[in-house]
Amino acid sequence: MKLVEEYAGVGSLRLRDRTLGAIPYRISRFQGMAASGLPIPGLHRIEGTVEIENAAALVGANVTLELEDGRSLKLTVADEHGRVLAEGHGPRHGCGCC
């Protein structure tokens, strides 16, 4: 996997019908690459952290992080420290391209 993008800023986090605003985040996006150097479609990993109070209560929850630039990422809260991740391809896996 090759690091292809990093995001940092303050965005909002959606959980079902709730929106939590002013959430600092740091996100890295990794892309699977073939030996030829070309990207492998659908093979990616998004990981990072969001600074939210009581993150332990959200472990395992599927959330949407809205970035400062208007893009959004569908992520899963992985631990009580606000670690988030997504793998795969498509809207259910962190990618909004299709």
Counting the structural domains of the chain, the total is 1
- Let me know if 71 is exposed, middle or buried by CB neighbors in 10 A (0-12, 13-18, 19+): exposed
Domain presence at residue 86: yes
Q: Is the pLDDT of residue 83 over 80?
A: yes
Residue 98 domain-assigned (yes or no): no
More confident residue, 13 or 97: 13
CA distances from residue 58 to 16, 39, 62 in whole angstroms, order as listed: 12, 32, 8
> Is 40 part of any domain?
yes
C-alpha span between 58 and 94 (Å, rounded): 17
Q: What is the pLDDT of residue 92?
A: 53
Residue 31 structural domain: 2-93
50 in a structural domain: yes
Query: Does residue 48 surpass a pLDDT of 80?
Result: yes
Residue with tokens 């939210």: 52
**Of 20 and 97, more confident:** 20
